Chain A
């Protein structure tokens, strides 16, 4: 059972380059999320999706775009990378909260450096 898988694990970009981070989950979760983790800042939500074909902005959406064409995949795009986007990115998925079921499952992270 793979859970949540992120591709790639590491990437170095030059300023202005574009890239797409791929997230895949095999738990049939409705909800998927993209976070970034920076020192002293915790996990900040970039974008999220509550179902196939839907996306919404989180706390820090500027400079990112997302797409959820298939239920199991959630893509995060950087159209023109900036050094401020150097971070560790985490994808996560969950069911809608039902009773005690409140857990989100995270991928292993993508470490992105923009130079």
Chain B
């Protein structure tokens, strides 16, 4: 059973509007969460992260919200731009020093329509 779930395989949003990508996890020991972005024919690139001691982390147009009691996090992109069209992977881990402990979700494909 997947420990990190992204239940929406795809999402379409109009340019300028807010994109909200959701992620749920099952392991209560997870305390660090990451988002990676992937363009076609390229490798994933790191976008933003959050630790469990916070409930929000912001970086420019990107904000990640964490609800530990619900085991849920979300990535908000405001305003959405056509260049944001990509696959977004949510990832989670407990105590770790290397990525063998990081579990990736299946990804959500975001399309931003001009």
Query: Which A residues have a C-beta under 8 Å from some C-beta of B?
Result: 4, 31, 33, 40-45, 48, 50, 56, 58, 90, 92, 94, 96-97, 102-109
Contacts and interface: CB of A to CB of B under 8 A. Distances in A.
Nearest to B102: A104
Interface string B69-81: 0000000000000
Interface size class of B (residues with CB under 8 A): 20 to 34
Nearest to A100: B49
- Pairs of residues from A and B, 8 with the lowest C-beta to C-beta distance, nearest first: A106-B43, A43-B104, A103-B46, A42-B104, A42-B106, A96-B97, A31-B98, A97-B97
B42 interface: yes
Interface of B: 2, 4, 9, 32, 34, 41-46, 49, 89, 96-100, 102, 104-107
Contacts of A94: 98-99
B110 to A, nearest CB: 15
B25 to A, nearest CB: 13
Contacts of B96: 97
Contacts of B49: 102
